[in-house]
């Protein structure tokens, strides 16, 4: 099947800055790269707002089918910028909406794939946890070390880590600030795939391109049902799944997919 090479270069240029670079990784796949090498890509308020704006725009673009998020220069995100954060008051956290980036990521309708090289600590680990898939190089390092600074994770680290790895592993990491390498994180269920060192972005982009070739309505339905069903009783979640399954039978993509299967040809999905 063919996929338009979207988004346009003009859109990418408008979203790109010195610290957050937005590019086309594959047809139908956008890549958001955090670029603060002097701080190992630590998240300050400016960077978080730029990421939020980019993901909001790309998520609303019908020609973008998957988004890869990564960091430049051998690091994902070493954490939140402590130098900026230490002086913030509770009121300033509220007024500045310091969790807006994480809220945007969690609400993004398009599949998000984190490509992790090096450190993914604190806010960086929370950023990865907001994504649907995490591809990590074998030397990637994950952790929630906030307790070592006298605070706790504040953007989903306690809750999303709990849901990803279970009570006992989550408590071990949260209460000790311990770091884990990719292989241990993979065994715990925190990482989807391990890539050779230096190849996480390439492997994530290939996965995103595969997803981009899938029927967009079915992709969106899977993400919506998995997200909505995670915290409701099983019977309710199964009902949500069944209703979404039935609705897709009214789509052109369903007819095209099944017709192509029977005709032994590659389907042409249009997202309708």
Known catalytic residues? 126, 146
Measured distance CA(257)–CA(214) in Å, rounded: 10
Measured distance CA(72)–CA(23) in Å, rounded: 13
Written as six digits, the tokens of 45 are: 């308020």
Identify whether the C-beta of residue 29 lies closer than 8 Å to the C-beta of residue 68: yes
How would you write the chain as a 3-class SS string? CCCCCCCCHHHHHHHCCCCEEEEEEECCEEEEEECCHHHCCCECHHHHHHHHHHHHHHHHCCCCCEEEEEECCCCCECCECHHHHCCCCHHHHHHCCCCHHHHHHHHCCCCEEEEECCEEECHHHHHHHHCCEEEEECCCEEECHHHHHCCCCCCCHHHHHHHHHCHHHHHHHHHHCCEEEHHHHHHHCCCCEEECCCCHHHHHHHHHHHHHCCCHHHHHHHHHHHHHHCCCCHHHHHHHHHHHHHHHHHCHHHHHHHHHHHHCCCCCCCCC
């Amino acid at each position: 099947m063919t996929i338009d090479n979207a988004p346009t270069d003009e859109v990418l240029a408008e979203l790109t800055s010195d610290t957050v670079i937005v590019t086309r990784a594959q047809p139908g796949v956008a890549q958001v790269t955090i670029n603060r090498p002097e701080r190992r890509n630590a998240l300050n308020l400016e960077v978080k707002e730029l990421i939020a704006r980019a993901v909001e725009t790309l998520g609303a673009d019908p020609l973008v089918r998957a988004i890869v998020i990564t960091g430049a220069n051998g690091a994902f995100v070493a954490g939140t910028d402590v130098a900026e954060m230490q002086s913030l008051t509770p009121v300033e956290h509220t007024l500045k909406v310091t969790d807006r980036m994480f809220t945007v990521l969690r609400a993004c309708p398009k599949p998000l794939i984190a490509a992790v090289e090096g450190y993914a600590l604190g806010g960086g680990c929370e950023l990865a946890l907001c994504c649907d898939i995490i591809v990590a190089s074998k030397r990637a390092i994950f952790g929630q070390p906030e307790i070592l600074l006298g605070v706790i994770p504040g953007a989903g680290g306690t809750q999303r880590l709990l849901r990803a790895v279970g009570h006992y592993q989550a408590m071990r990491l949260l209460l000790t600030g311990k770091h884990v390498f990719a292989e241990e994180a993979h065994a715990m269920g925190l990482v989807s795939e391990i890539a050779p060192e230096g190849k996480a972005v390439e492997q994530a982009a290939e996965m995103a391109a595969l997803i981009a070739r899938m029927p967009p309505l079915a992709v969106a339905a899977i993400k919506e049902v998995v997200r909505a069903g995670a915290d409701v009783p099983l019977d309710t979640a199964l009902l949500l799944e069944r209703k979404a399954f039935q609705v897709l039978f009214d789509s052109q993509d369903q007819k095209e997919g099944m017709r192509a299967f029977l005709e032994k040809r590659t389907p042409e999905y249009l997202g309708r």
